[in-house]
Structure 1
Amino acid sequence: MNKVAKNTLILMIITIISKILGFIRELVLGGIYGTTFYSDAYIVAMNIPGTLFSLIGIALSTTFIPLYYENSKSIKESNKFVNNIFNITLILSAILALLVFVFANQVVKIFAIGFNGDTFKLTVEFTKIIIVGALFMGTSSIFTSFLQAKENFTVPGLVGIPFNIIIIIAIILSSKISIYILPIGTVIAMLSRLLFQMPSLFKYGYRYKFTIGLKEDYIKKVIWLVGPVFIGVAVNQINTMVDRTLASTLLEGSISALNYANRLNSFVMGLFIMSIGTVIYPILSKLSANSDKESFIKTVYKSVNIVTLLVIPISIGAMVLATPIVSLLFERGAFDSRATDITAKALVFYSIGMVGFGLRDILGKVFYSLQDTKTPMINGAIAIGMNIILNLILVKFMGHAGLAFATSISAIACIFILFKSLKKKIGYFGQDKILKTTLKSLIASILMGIITYVTYSILSSVLVVGFIQQAISLFGSIAIGALVYGILVVILKVEEASMVINFARKKLKI
């Protein structure tokens, strides 16, 4: 596990840099455009290709790694396999992009049913521009999967840096020159993801060639495996679309508030969950291919427990400190106290399901490594169906916060369904160890949350009002909370906590 820990740590550090830039991007967008129709239009236009093209990209890249190990015994076979998948993805993406461009009006109506007038018109115009860059979304994910199969996690992790920098520049320039620089800059940012990875591809002997072999044996397997993944991702994206569609019928800025709150949650997901999932997926795929069940099970429950230990305290901390977090990060310029209030409410209810979001991704990787793409699709569809029903009910009573709450409830429900399905598929997977760690983490997190809240209240009342004082109060209470949580998990004898301490001692030679 040392190699896994090392790769995960490196990826986390890279992700921190990328996510910080992502936050700066959101801060700049919020500071310049706030929760106005400009930001609503841009966010929806950005999410249209993100929703549609992730269907192709995620579906193909998910099945890529297990099949790559089976069909790449030499550089020649590797190039043939990669080019085949890449070109199929490119063609499918081009067809979908053309359809979205031609039917942009209808697509925007589906994604934002409540938009009208200038907001609707601007969203359509943004969509027609951004959809061009979406060609690079699916194809760049194929290159990412290739590098991860080669155990190169650094370069794929770095792609977010130029992406975010380019968009930040575009946001600033759009406010000074023309609003249309915003979608044009986004297209350039999407292209940068693809170009950034190409030098590393060449180092592994990759050479591009336009070739499509639909009769290859593995293509039939790709189609068989990718279908359920495609449907599963589509169901998830439909859920996102329903959220934003319902939000578009609420008060102006509801979409932006949900987006900013979701970005905060995404920071945690990207930092911890994506890093862990990215590293363990190739490992699980190899263990599954080698029929090493004992190591496979150990990797599963260790990964689940690490996610649980990291995410539960962050979830409770985010709920306790939602308002000061949003205020410190976003409240400036056009992002006023009203924007802080509605965003903080969304953050609280998104945070409830944070552990669900994280474990759903990890367990999905477990099933995919077993070349079982059908189970996550069925279970996901059930959970998303529940989410849509809850959306329609809760939005009437809770507004945009109800949409976030419905998402959290369905994510937690999905985890229980996935655990049950995993038990049915492989039997024992460390359920007792997972339950024990979860309960200990929950107890420690609740106590941490109480102490964190009390600490913040004391610090904020003592210190004079101001940005620096606010930052000291927030980060001071977070530091105290983290220390308390760390001490509690050690006292409760959590196995994974001891593993981390022992690993640190060896490295520091204590």
Structure 2
Amino acid sequence: MSAAPGKPRGPGMLRSTAVFSAMTFLSRIAGYLRDWLQASLFGAGPAVSAFVVAYRIPNYLRRIFAEGSFSSAFVPVLSELKQKGDDAAVQDFLDHVAGALLAVVIVVTGLGMLLAPWIARLFLLLADDSKTELVDLTAQMLRITFPYLALISMTALAGAVLNTFRHFGLPALTPVLHNIGVIAGMLLLAQYFDVPEMALAWGVVGAGVLQLLVLWPAMARWGLRPRLRFNLRHEGVRRVFKLMVPTIFSSSVAQVNLLVGTMFAALLVPEAQSWLYYSDRLTELPLGLFGVAIGTVILPQLSRHHADDDAAGYSKAIDWGLRTVLLVGLPAAVGLALLAEPLTASLFRYGKFTPYDTRMVGYALTAMSVGIPAFMLSKVLLPAFYAKQDTRTPMRAAVVTVVVNVALIAGFVTPLWHYQVAAAHAGIAAATAIAGVINAALLWRYLRRGGAFVPEPGWGRWLLRIVAGLVVMAAVVLAVRAHVGSWAVLPTLWRWTWLLAAIAAGGAAYGLTLIALGLRPRHLRH
């Protein structure tokens, strides 16, 4: 493993982010094909809603044992050991953490499969007898999807190791394999089940196997493959798990809020789960392309600055991350809000996915888009704390955020549900978005109050450029929408033609406005 630490210093954060974003873009294209196929074959019926619940629960736990809490605790410790140049200590740390992680996720997976009926009933809000079939179907799917947790946790460990050693491309590409696995499950297995949607659950497990088989051997090329050793008393293991505990809420607050929304959606029509799922999938495009990419790249960089006691470099890295996120996050939010229904119609309005489903998903997407910049900001702000191995401060913000989210959902949904408003599910999306804004604001406040982040000069000019670009972009997109009229009545080819035209025109208007106001590529480098 000695070769890895001695390798030349990797590319800058902008280039690394670009590589990660490019790989993620391929993943999102594959994800669109997956969602399009799912919407066409299965629509947004109760069986799809059962899959949404069965998928979100292990996916939330994935945020704890994989990319979220675990990586947030693991990467700073690994980066610190790597900076010291002790290869034997790094290998010993990897061996014992890998063994402990595998043991824990196997136990959690077994418990999840055993308790599946009770978990299903809990997340369907103690469903009454009229929902017995839905609960049973959800429990069956949970037993199938829970092993995905163990598979993706070990895959995430491999990805975190590679990212720490500045190999970002392959970890960013592996989500493509996830989408390929689910697509293969739908195409190859659906015909063999009485409930064809069961193929979705089996596709998730197959995807987990495929990702692990690709990413785990990749570590060996850099001399980094862990040997599984189990010792919960190992100093490195205890250190990682101690750091993990407070991050369970903070690193996965968006997922916690989605789960809360999932429970409240069970009170509404059966399709509400599916409508929220499809809107969530669309918001993941900018989050994955930019928010997750920047957060993944910046964490090892911040950890190195902290290990080197470089306070100025640490603060400048945060400043770069926040500016970059706002530069891409704000136009992404405005664009999704303005093109919510055209986007949904173009992507999903096929087969069993009805015009009514299109409208309902559009409502939820418009509401959720409010929180996109905040979700992306959190991807930069959280690593700023984790790099210092401070996991308690973000936990305080997360607890407040979840409480606010529950209160907002109850406040928004209860009256809408009482008066049988069809779009009551949009209240859940709006509450989740507002809670995300509050979470980002609290994190920023704590970071500034602690003195770890000092904004660089020029923030006022930076924000004015962005606002001006957004105004011009919105005017152009609205003009295209007014010219087209209703997207729902257009043939498929014209839907896509006008959607791409609106996106291209809006993006060009935004970019040209920024350039006219003096923004140059050098301003994006770090």
TM-score by length of 1: 0.93
Quickly say closer, same or farther: Cα 1:114–1:19, change in 2 above 3 A.
Answer: farther
Quickly say closer, same or farther: Cα 1:22–1:455, change in 2 above 3 A.
Answer: same
Q: Tell me, yes or no, if the aligned pair for 1:30 and 1:330 is still in contact at 8 Å.
A: yes
Match of 1:486 in 2: 511
Match of 1:417 in 2: 442
Residue of 66, 70, 73 corresponding to 1:60: 70
Match of 2:345, SS state, is: helix
| Letter matched to residue 40 of structure 1 | S
Residue of 25, 30, 37 corresponding to 1:21: 30
Q: Tell me, yes or no, if the aligned pair for 1:490 and 1:498 is still in contact at 8 Å.
A: no
| Letter matched to residue 499 of structure 1 | H
RMSD: 2.3
Quickly say closer, same or farther: Cα 1:119–1:298, change in 2 above 3 A.
Answer: same
Q: Superposition pairs for residues 177-188 of structure 1, below 5 Å?
A: 177-178=192-193, 179=196, 180-188=198-206
Q: Tell me, yes or no, if the aligned pair for 1:130 and 1:184 is still in contact at 8 Å.
A: yes
Distance 2:265 2:448 in 1: 37
Give the CA deviation at 1:71.
3.0
Q: Superposition pairs for residues 299-318 of structure 1, below 5 Å?
A: 299-318=317-336
Match of 1:426, SS state, is: coil
| Post-superposition CA distance 1:170-214 (Å, at most 9, x none) | 112343222343322221211222221122211122344331333
Match of 1:506 in 2: none
Match of 2:450, SS state, is: helix
Give the CA deviation at 1:492.
3.2
Matched, 1:402 2:427: yes
Match of 1:96, SS state, is: helix
152-161 vs 114-123, greater mean Cα deviation: 114-123
Percent of counterpart pairs with the same letter? Answer: 24
| Letter matched to residue 413 of structure 1 | I
Distance 2:157 2:173 in 1: 16
| Post-superposition CA distance 1:258-307 (Å, at most 9, x none) | 11111111011001111111111111110111111222222111111111
| Letter matched to residue 455 of structure 1 | V
| Letter matched to residue 56 of structure 1 | F
113-122 vs 351-360, greater mean Cα deviation: 113-122
Q: How many residues align?
A: 501
Match of 1:83 in 2: 95
Q: Tell me, yes or no, if the aligned pair for 1:75 and 1:205 is still in contact at 8 Å.
A: no
229-238 vs 137-146, greater mean Cα deviation: 229-238
Q: Tell me, yes or no, if the aligned pair for 1:229 and 1:373 is still in contact at 8 Å.
A: yes
Match of 2:4 in 1: none
Q: Superposition pairs for residues 6-155 of structure 1, below 5 Å?
A: 6-57=15-66, 58-72=68-82, 73-113=85-125, 116-155=131-170
Matched, 1:499 2:487: no
Quickly say closer, same or farther: Cα 1:461–1:225, change in 2 above 3 A.
Answer: closer
Distance 2:19 2:427 in 1: 37
172-181 vs 80-89, greater mean Cα deviation: 172-181
- Whichever structure has more helix as a proportion of its residues is 1
Q: Superposition pairs for residues 234-253 of structure 1, below 5 Å?
A: 236-253=254-271
TM-score by length of 2: 0.90
Give the CA deviation at 1:425.
1.4
Match of 2:167, SS state, is: coil
Quickly say closer, same or farther: Cα 1:429–1:93, change in 2 above 3 A.
Answer: same
Distance 1:498 1:3 in 2: 13
Quickly say closer, same or farther: Cα 1:188–1:213, change in 2 above 3 A.
Answer: same
Distance 1:300 1:102 in 2: 44
225-234 vs 335-344, greater mean Cα deviation: 225-234
Match of 2:5 in 1: none
Distance 2:490 2:71 in 1: 49
| Letter matched to residue 105 of structure 1 | P
107-116 vs 250-259, greater mean Cα deviation: 107-116
Match of 1:470 in 2: 495
Q: Tell me, yes or no, if the aligned pair for 1:8 and 1:276 is still in contact at 8 Å.
A: yes
- Structure 2: which 5+ runs fail to align? 1-9, 417-423
| Letter matched to residue 49 of structure 1 | P
